[in-house]
């Protein structure tokens, strides 16, 4: 269904152009629609409307500039240099933006390769933009169903296994729950999801499940020791664990069936009550000092489990809201175009103008490789040499593994796709009607195959382009062979350029994560001051929010690049993705605090609340260090003391709930960071 819906606009603009007896215009519009279709697949599950419109405009401008400067080779090359550098630097804003940069180069060197008059250059630019806008309009109107049912079921199985483990005898093995957690992590891996990014909340749930498993395992040891020292409180502890198990079972149902209400909060409420009763019991001298020490530890782990239940519940609720909406669609929210956002964009670009930045190295490599490809094509007098530069622009990546995978995949796919197109065109000799049907069929298959196999999809896209070109060309076999030779040359140039000046993904990931947590520390500090009525600088808070958003986008792009690297050159993939999810949870909860405070839901600061603010900010700053050190702070203990000073008004309840989520996310981040150390 996704492939068919995405292919309809390509066929529509092609048909309109052919009906108007203008094959060149038809092909130009179809190419524009095809390029936006590819961006929508790369940007899945939701492509921001502003990026889609930016892509449409950039394609038109690139074609115009290429066409208007074509008669002056020196000027044509001079414009190409900054275009390649900016396109390479676009990786700092994310994968989708990087693809937009590559497509701008493709439009310049392929569609803008013929010199022409100002009028014709403008016409060509408008035609490719028109085709792109038709594709955008179709994606705005049409919606596709979500496809994470299997992933949700596997995460629900992990929650169910954890619920069973919660009440097993202390001597029972944890291998069953470990196996289910590992299974959930596998189905949420980049390979299993084919690059999708709408699984963050599910990954966050799995992170909490893994942490909760450690708490249960520790509690098993404490229960064993208590049975030897003072068995009296064991029944109450077991009842508390049963409450945790009930809540986990309900949360598993909520994950499996996001459209049905569940009552997990009842179990969490009973757990809260039992913790209070157990703490009250500590005031009564029984069992001696050793029993008291053990029970203090038991209560600490039960408190942690209560916080994890609430965090899982929040993540489940957010995932349930997203699930019914449909995921393969255009995100119509429009933003990031105001002057402050442009300033932040420029600041992020400027921050990466250094030789150790992956984005800067990629930009320089792209300039060198595209110029080398253009020069080689001219030197060898290749009949369709512009495809060499085209291949370099789409194959050269800022990381080695993606470059290798995409290079091999494109060569294999091009060979198969070119062969398929040559056979179809030479055997069928299709007229306009048959060609249109073939293009629609091949486009639908290509877009459907994209998430599953890049090689297959790119092969079908190659067939699509060659069938399009057959409308104005007769030598289909020669065109296919030229395409294959040019792609091989482009792959060699791209690989050689990277190997001569490689990048280090591990350093880039740590730097971007450190910048993210430092930005979150600053943002949270300002928001909490607003919540505590000690500050009201809304403009400064908005600037901090934008900065945190950009740092998150930067970290997300860095982690995405590193996940495909060989294991010897990158960190633990689960840890990196978990840290990213923790950062997103902190960002979301801080937003919630900020919006509540701006509505007037504020509280008077107490010494305990101020201490909590300092501990949370200090913990985030520690995560933001180049080499994070173990922290002596216990945010959960400080949170417990701080919330005890709050009253029962709605503002206090909202503050406590969001602070609870932040405390849990900070603790999860610290735990993951300790695994990476």
- In whole angstroms, what is the distance from residue 104 CA to residue 125 CA? 12
Most confident of 434-443, 569-578, 595-604: 434-443
Q: At what angle do helices 476-500 and 454-469 cross, to 10 degrees?
A: 140
β-bridge mates for residue 299, sequence order: none
Give the mean pLDDT of 188-207. Answer: 64
In the prediction, which pLDDT does 353 show? 87
In the prediction, which pLDDT does 120 show? 92
75-to-80, 113, 125 alpha-carbon distances in Å: 8, 13, 19
What is the Cα 411 distance to its own chain's centre? 27
In the predicted model, is pLDDT for residue 86 greater than 90?
Answer: yes
Instruction: Name the region of 381 (left: φ>0; alpha: ψ -120 to 50; beta: rest).
Output: left
Give the mean pLDDT of 525-534. Answer: 84
In the prediction, which pLDDT does 363 show? 94
pLDDT band with cut points at 50, 70 and 90 for residue 44: low
pLDDT band with cut points at 50, 70 and 90 for residue 191: very low
- In whole angstroms, what is the distance from residue 247 CA to residue 262 CA? 10
Q: The CATH number of 505-676 is which of 1.20.120.1200, 1.20.58.220, 1.20.120.160, 1.10.3660.10?
A: 1.20.58.220
**126-167 per-position pLDDT tens digit:** 999 999 999 988 877 765 444 567 788 888 899 999 989 888
- In whole angstroms, what is the distance from residue 667 CA to residue 670 CA? 5
pLDDT band with cut points at 50, 70 and 90 for residue 176: confident
In the prediction, which pLDDT does 194 show? 39
CB 189 within 8 A of CB 573: yes
In the prediction, which pLDDT does 145 show? 45
Longest dimension (CA), the chain: 95
pLDDT band with cut points at 50, 70 and 90 for residue 536: low
Of 493, 501, 497, 477, the residue nearest 411 (C-alpha): 493
In the prediction, which pLDDT does 183 show? 83
**324-381 per-position pLDDT tens digit:** 444 345 555 455 445 556 777 787 788 888 887 888 999 999 999 999 999 999 998 8
| pTM, entire model | 0.64
- In whole angstroms, what is the distance from residue 437 CA to residue 426 CA? 16
Written as six digits, the tokens of 542 are: 């908005």
CB 225 within 8 A of CB 294: yes
Q: Percent helix, strand, coil in the chain (nearest 5)? A: 80, 0, 20
pLDDT band with cut points at 50, 70 and 90 for residue 286: low
CB 234 within 8 A of CB 227: yes
* Domains 149-325 and 505-676 alike in fold: yes
> Which residue bears the tokens 């199985």?
157
Written as six digits, the tokens of 632 are: 């002596």
pLDDT band with cut points at 50, 70 and 90 for residue 198: low
Give the mean pLDDT of 243-247. Answer: 89
In the prediction, which pLDDT does 75 show? 93
**Would you list the domain boundaries of the chain?**
2-145+342-500, 149-325, 505-676
Written as six digits, the tokens of 99 are: 């693809």
In the prediction, which pLDDT does 551 show? 84
CB 100 within 8 A of CB 54: yes
pLDDT band with cut points at 50, 70 and 90 for residue 283: low
Q: Is 173 exposed, middle or buried (0-12, 13-18, 19+ CB in 10 A)?
A: exposed
Helix (H, G, I), strand (E, B) or coil at 314: helix
pLDDT band with cut points at 50, 70 and 90 for residue 227: confident
Give the mean pLDDT of 439-451. Answer: 87
Which segment of 76-85, 233-242, 517-526, 598-607 scores lowest on mean pLDDT?
598-607
**588-626 per-position pLDDT tens digit:** 788 878 877 877 778 888 888 889 999 999 999 888 886
In the prediction, which pLDDT does 192 show? 43
In the predicted model, is pLDDT for residue 108 greater than 90?
Answer: yes
In the prediction, which pLDDT does 199 show? 67
- In whole angstroms, what is the distance from residue 381 CA to residue 608 CA? 75
Instruction: Name the region of 501 (left: φ>0; alpha: ψ -120 to 50; beta: rest).
Output: beta
Which segment of 55-64, 163-172, 193-202, 240-249 scores lowest on mean pLDDT?
193-202
**Cis omega (within 30 of 0) for bond into 45:** yes
CB 262 within 8 A of CB 248: no
- In whole angstroms, what is the distance from residue 152 CA to residue 319 CA? 9
Average per-residue pLDDT for the chain: 81
Sequence-distant (≥ 6) Cβ neighbours of residue 459 within 8 angstroms: 412, 413, 414, 415, 416, 417, 420
In the prediction, which pLDDT does 146 show? 47
Reported as half-sphere exposure (CB side, CA atoms, 13 A), residue 530 has a value of: 25
- In whole angstroms, what is the distance from residue 668 CA to residue 615 CA? 15
- In whole angstroms, what is the distance from residue 673 CA to residue 90 CA? 28
Written as six digits, the tokens of 121 are: 């250059």
- In whole angstroms, what is the distance from residue 201 CA to residue 315 CA? 5
pLDDT band with cut points at 50, 70 and 90 for residue 193: very low
In the prediction, which pLDDT does 12 show? 92
Reported as half-sphere exposure (CB side, CA atoms, 13 A), residue 499 has a value of: 7
DSSP 505: H
Share of the chain above pLDDT 90, in %: 18
pLDDT band with cut points at 50, 70 and 90 for residue 413: confident
In the predicted model, is pLDDT for residue 259 greater than 80?
Answer: no
What is the Cα 275 distance to its own chain's centre? 38
What CATH code is assigned to 149-325? 1.20.58.220
**463-506 per-position pLDDT tens digit:** 888 888 888 776 666 777 787 888 889 889 998 998 888 877 77
CB 80 within 8 A of CB 370: yes
pLDDT band with cut points at 50, 70 and 90 for residue 125: very high
**Cis omega (within 30 of 0) for bond into 83:** no
CB 70 within 8 A of CB 62: no
């Amino acid at each position: 269904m996704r492939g068919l819906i995405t292919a309809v606009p390509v066929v529509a603009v092609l048909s309109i152009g052919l009906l108007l007896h203008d094959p060149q215009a038809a092909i130009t519009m179809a190419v524009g629609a095809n390029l936006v279709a590819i961006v929508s697949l790369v940007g899945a599950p939701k492509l921001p409307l502003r990026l889609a419109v930016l892509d449409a405009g950039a394609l038109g401008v690139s074609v115009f500039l290429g066409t208007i400067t074509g008669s002056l080779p020196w000027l044509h090359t001079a414009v190409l240099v900054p275009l390649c550098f900016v396109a390479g630097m676009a990786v700092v804003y994310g994968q989708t933006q990087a693809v937009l940069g590559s497509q701008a180069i493709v439009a310049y060197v392929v569609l803008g390769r013929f010199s022409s008059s100002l009028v014709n250059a403008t016409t060509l630019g408008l035609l490719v933009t028109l085709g792109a806008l038709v594709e955008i309009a179709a994606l705005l109107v049409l919606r596709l169903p979500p496809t994470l049912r299997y992933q949700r079921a596997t995460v629900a199985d992990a929650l169910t296994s954890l619920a069973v483990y919660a009440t097993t005898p202390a001597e029972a093995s944890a291998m069953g729950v470990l196996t289910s957690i590992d299974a959930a992590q596998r189905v949420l891996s980049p390979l299993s999801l084919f690059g999708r990014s709408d699984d963050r909340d599910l990954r966050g749930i799995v992170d909490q499940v893994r942490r909760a498993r450690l708490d249960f395992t520790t509690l098993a040891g404490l229960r064993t020791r208590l049975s030897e020292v003072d068995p009296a409180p064991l029944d109450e502890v077991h009842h508390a664990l049963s409450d945790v198990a009930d809540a986990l079972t309900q949360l598993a149902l909520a994950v499996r069936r996001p459209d049905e209400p569940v009552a997990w909060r009842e179990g969490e409420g009973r757990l809260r009550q039992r913790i209070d009763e157990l703490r009250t019991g500590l005031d009564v001298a029984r069992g001696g000092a050793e029993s008291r020490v053990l029970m203090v530890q038991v209560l600490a782990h039960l408190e942690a489990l209560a916080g994890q239940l609430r965090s899982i519940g929040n993540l489940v609720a957010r995932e349930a809201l997203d699930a019914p909406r449909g995921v393969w669609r255009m995100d119509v929210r429009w933003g990031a175009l105001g002057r402050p956002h442009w300033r932040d964009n420029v600041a992020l670009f400027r921050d990466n103008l250094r030789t150790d930045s992956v984005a800067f190295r990629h930009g320089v490599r792209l300039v060198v490789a595209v110029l080398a490809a253009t020069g080689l094509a001219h030197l060898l007098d290749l009949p369709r040499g512009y495809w060499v530069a085209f291949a370099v622009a789409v194959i050269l990546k800022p990381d080695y593994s993606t470059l290798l995978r995409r290079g091999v995949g494109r060569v294999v796919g091009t060979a198969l796709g070119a062969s398929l197109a040559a056979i179809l065109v030479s055997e069928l000799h299709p007229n306009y009607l048959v060609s249109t049907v073939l293009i629609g069929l091949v486009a639908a298959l290509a877009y459907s195959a994209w998430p599953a196999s890049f090689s297959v999809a790119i092969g079908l896209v190659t067939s699509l382009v060659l069938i399009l070109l057959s409308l104005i060309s007769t030598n289909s076999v020669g065109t296919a062979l030229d395409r294959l030779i040019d792609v091989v040359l482009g792959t060699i140039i791209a690989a050689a350029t990277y190997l001569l000046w490689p990048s280090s993904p591990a350093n880039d990931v740590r730097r971007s994560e450190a910048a993210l947590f430092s930005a979150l520390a600053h943002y949270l500090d300002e928001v909490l001051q607003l919540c505590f009525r000690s500050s009201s600088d809304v403009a400064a808070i908005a600037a901090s929010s934008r900065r945190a958003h950009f740092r998150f986008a930067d970290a997300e792009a860095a982690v995405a690049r590193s996940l495909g690297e060989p294991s010897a050159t990158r960190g633990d993939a689960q840890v990196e993705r978990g840290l990213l999810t923790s950062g997103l949870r902190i960002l979301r909860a801080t937003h919630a605090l900020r919006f509540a405070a701006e509505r007037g839901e504020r509280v008077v600061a107490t010494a305990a609340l101020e201490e909590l603010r300092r501990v949370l900010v200090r913990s985030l700053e520690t995560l933001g260090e180049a080499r994070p050190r173990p922290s002596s702070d216990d945010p959960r203990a400080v949170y417990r003391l701080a919330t005890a000073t709050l009253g029962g008004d709605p503002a206090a309840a909202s503050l406590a709930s969001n602070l609870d989520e932040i405390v849990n996310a900070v603790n999860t981040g610290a735990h993951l960071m300790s695994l990476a150390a």
